[in-house]
Amino acid sequence: MSAPLWSPAPDRIAASAMSAFMKRVNENHGAALDDYDALHRWSVAHPDLFWNEIWEDSAVIGDKGGIVLSDGDKMPGARFFPEARLNFAENLLRGEGEAPALLFNNEGRMAAPVSRAQLRADVARLAAALKSWGVAPGDRVAAFMPNCPEAIVAMLAAASLGAVFSSCSPDFGVRGVLDRFGQIAPKVLIACDGYRYAGKVLPAHDKLAEIIAGLPSLEHVVVVSFIGEGKKQLAKSQDWPDVLAAAPAAPAAPLAFARLPFSHPLYIMYSSGTTGVPKCIVHSAGGTLLQHLKEHRLHCDLRAGERLFYFTTCGWMMWNWLVSGLAAGATLALYDGSPFAPGPQVLFDYIDEAKINVFGTSAKFIDAIKKEGLAPRETHDLSSMRMILSTGSPLVAESFDYAYTQVKKDVALCSISGGTDIVSCFVLGSPMLPVHRGEIQAKGLGMAVEVWNEEGKPVAGEKGELVCVAPFPSMPVGFWNDDDSAKYRAAYFERFPGVWCHGDFAEITEHGGIVIHGRSDATLNPGGVRIGTAEIYAQVEQLPEVQEALAIGQDFAGDVRVVLFVVMKPGHALDEPMCGRIRAKIREGASPRHVPAKIVAVADIPRTKSGKITELAVRDIVHGRAVKNREALANPEALELYKNIEDLKS
């Protein structure tokens, strides 16, 4: 076995919340668990006992009821805490006082901290306004907002009443917003007057006018003056300060919480929408709360008063994941704008200024700063940062090397993977385990994760489908407007009936870690052999001349051939010697089967709003098929670069 890149010190393991939780399980259930693997096996073998312990250990506010799990053999169909009553916002807003709840940084501009007391007061005022407008449990409140404190206030106010919250970021086009919010008919819209990105001020009034006109269900619009312009002449609109000022403050209007069933809808989130109109995924208040408490408190060892950061927008599930850090007592360090403005060091400046403890980002960001030649360990203190989280795409082995040599030596680097579908993780980090190069550390507690081959048999040491063979609380309630659950079942349970098939091509390593090789629907099949696209990217993107790459399988001559598109760094060209170097690198680092039949230079790579490259859209364009929902892309104009490429006709 290879040596780990980093291992937690024994005293750090002993002091972790996960070790305390394992001791609690041993005492309460007569177990003799002594390491993470044993704890994980117990958690999936006894789901009722495990999730009851998560509720109790996390001190969830609410009425638990007498049943933890009913119909536990059904997936879908299992019900967690069917008698419970709780409120999501009540659990996030525990605690008063002047301790900071929210910090906010907009491209290097730091706002004044928002205290726990101020957050509760603002939530109470907005909730009073929503209630006066007739917002009731089950009504939808939508947000078209940057990642700023007001967005969190809006979510908590809606959740306090039992309303269902849904958000997207202001970089979405009008069609993209209407494709999402138009399906769920919101009663109230919270929106910004514009946003800032890469030093530019981008007004949103024209967009908002079209969005409001396209949502006939809207009765009220609240405009947050993010760029200083306010509501102007927008229909049905009021300015945020006026709405809050008009609402009575506590104690005249104390913050109240509607305690509702565990499965009551909390969020509506959206699939990427690159293959059609986005699916509206409904997540429950109880399932989201319990899963996030487990991941924050145990897997991230997040403590009250620590600072939690994730680079995200309100259009990505990591925003919802970040906000739940309030339930663990953490201070949320919010950031909006470009991670490279005013310079590539801005997020590391923020770590030092805000004393961030858990720093979350994307694999693409780590790769980008590596290619920029940044060495934060030489330019920044970073003493507060004890954990780096990475998701969005697989974190390649070379990025692990870079993080430990150029960012920080003593840090837990945790690649994590799950998705919008479960608003959480299947596989992630553990404070009890070492970090191995290129690997996700562990299966999540309570998550019966396996890798299956084509015959539906569990395998280790070989690639297959990532599945979950038992229910878990954060499974979606269902899809919006899918009354017979046909779309929901087709999305996850069609491949292997009764088993969640997530659509990731994965592998369990000799250490018990996990490697994600890419999305199953983007898997290449030259000669009938399945190849993960991430395996190709891990090789070609090591070359200093290559900025980024995208691979697809092209149907050709009765088979599938691998086509690799590359964006070259400025000053470099894709000539024959360069193509030879790329092929040699892939052959040496992966296998001869991974070597592309064609290599094509392009100026840009299309990606979703959350920054993920979209192989499927490119594959459709190359094959002459229409891309159904260009609005789901951050840069749809890039698709034109892939049309009618002469070199792919022979």
Please give the average per-residue pLDDT across 62-79, as a whole number: 97
**CA 160 – CA 137 distance, rounded (Å):** 9
**Same-domain status, 36 and 118:** no
- Which residue range(s) make up the domain with 366? 95-436
93 is written with which tokens?
A: 């807003």
User: CB-based burial of residue 66 (10 Å sphere; 0-12 exposed, 13-18 middle, 19+ buried)?
Assistant: exposed
Please give the average per-residue pLDDT across 81-96, as a whole number: 96
**Same-domain status, 178 and 74:** no
Contact (CB, 8 A) for 377 and 406: yes
H helix or E strand, kind and range, residue 151? helix 149-161
* Chain mean pLDDT for the chain: 94
**Residue 556 — pLDDT band, cuts 50, 70, 90?**
confident
Q: Which pLDDT does position 252 carry in this prediction? A: 66
Please give the average per-residue pLDDT across 392-419, as a whole number: 95
Contact (CB, 8 A) for 348 and 380: yes
Residue 100 domain-assigned?
yes
Q: Of 19, 45, 80, which one is at a domain's C-terminal end?
A: 80
Cis ω before 344 (30° cut-off from 0)? no
**Same-domain status, 270 and 178:** yes
Q: Is the pLDDT of residue 275 over 60?
A: no
**CA 342 – CA 247 distance, rounded (Å):** 38
Residue 305 domain-assigned?
yes
**CA 347 – CA 312 distance, rounded (Å):** 12
| Range scoring the smallest mean pLDDT among 297-301, 353-357, 482-486 | 482-486
**Same-domain status, 531 and 390:** no
**Same-domain status, 413 and 528:** no
**CA 158 – CA 123 distance, rounded (Å):** 9
**Same-domain status, 107 and 50:** no
**Residue 274 — pLDDT band, cuts 50, 70, 90?**
low
Q: Is the pLDDT of residue 558 over 90?
A: no
Output 528 or 405, whichever has higher pLDDT: 405
pTM of structure: 0.90
**Same-domain status, 265 and 396:** yes
What amino acid occupies position 433? L
Q: Identify the bridge partners of residue 332 per DSSP, sorted by sequence position.
A: 102, 308
Percent of the chain with pLDDT over 90: 83
Q: Is the pLDDT of residue 276 over 70?
A: no
Q: Measure the N-to-C terminal CA separation of the chain; round to a whole number of Å.
A: 45
Please give the average per-residue pLDDT across 164-184, as a whole number: 93
Residue 503 domain-assigned?
no
Q: Of 386, 411, 436, which one is at a domain's C-terminal end?
A: 436
Contact (CB, 8 A) for 391 and 318: yes
Q: Of 388, 413, 436, which one is at a domain's C-terminal end?
A: 436
Closest alpha carbon to 506 in 613, 426, 390 = 426
Residue 90 domain-assigned?
no
DSSP string, 211-247: HHHT-TT--EEEEE-SSS---TT-TTEEEHHHHHHHS
Contact (CB, 8 A) for 333 and 309: yes
Q: What is the CATH classification number for the domain harbouring 600?
A: 3.30.300.30
Percent of the chain with pLDDT over 70: 98
Strand 220-224, strand 237-239: pairing: parallel
Digit-coded pLDDT (tens) for 586-606: 988 887 888 999 999 999 999
Digit-coded pLDDT (tens) for 116-142: 999 999 999 999 999 999 999 999 999
**Same-domain status, 140 and 190:** yes
Strand 387-391, strand 500-508: pairing: unpaired
Digit-coded pLDDT (tens) for 496-536: 999 999 999 999 999 999 999 888 877 787 776 677 888 89
Q: Is the pLDDT of residue 619 over 60?
A: yes
Q: Is the pLDDT of residue 629 over 80?
A: no
Q: Is the pLDDT of residue 93 over 60?
A: yes
Residue 19 domain-assigned?
yes
Number of domains in the chain: 3
CA neighbours within 13 Å on the CB side: how many for 501? 23
Residue 501 domain-assigned?
no
**Same-domain status, 58 and 183:** no
**Same-domain status, 72 and 134:** no
**CA 289 – CA 287 distance, rounded (Å):** 5
**Same-domain status, 43 and 126:** no
Q: Which pLDDT does position 557 carry in this prediction? A: 80
Q: What is the CATH classification number for the domain harbouring 127?
A: 3.40.50.12780
H helix or E strand, kind and range, residue 317? helix 317-323
Q: Which pLDDT does position 272 carry in this prediction? A: 73
Output 634 or 337, whichever has higher pLDDT: 337
**CA 417 – CA 97 distance, rounded (Å):** 35
**CA 527 – CA 597 distance, rounded (Å):** 12
Residue 451 domain-assigned?
no
349 is written with which tokens?
A: 């400046």
Output 145 or 176, whichever has higher pLDDT: 145
Contact (CB, 8 A) for 499 and 540: no
DSSP string, 81-106: STT-EE-HHHHHS---SSSEEEEEEE
At how many degrees (to 10) do helices 205-213 and 174-184 cross?
30
Q: Is the pLDDT of residue 631 over 80?
A: no
Please give the average per-residue pLDDT across 317-341, as a whole number: 97
Cis ω before 76 (30° cut-off from 0)? yes
Contact (CB, 8 A) for 187 and 133: yes
**Same-domain status, 157 and 53:** no
Residue 626 domain-assigned?
yes
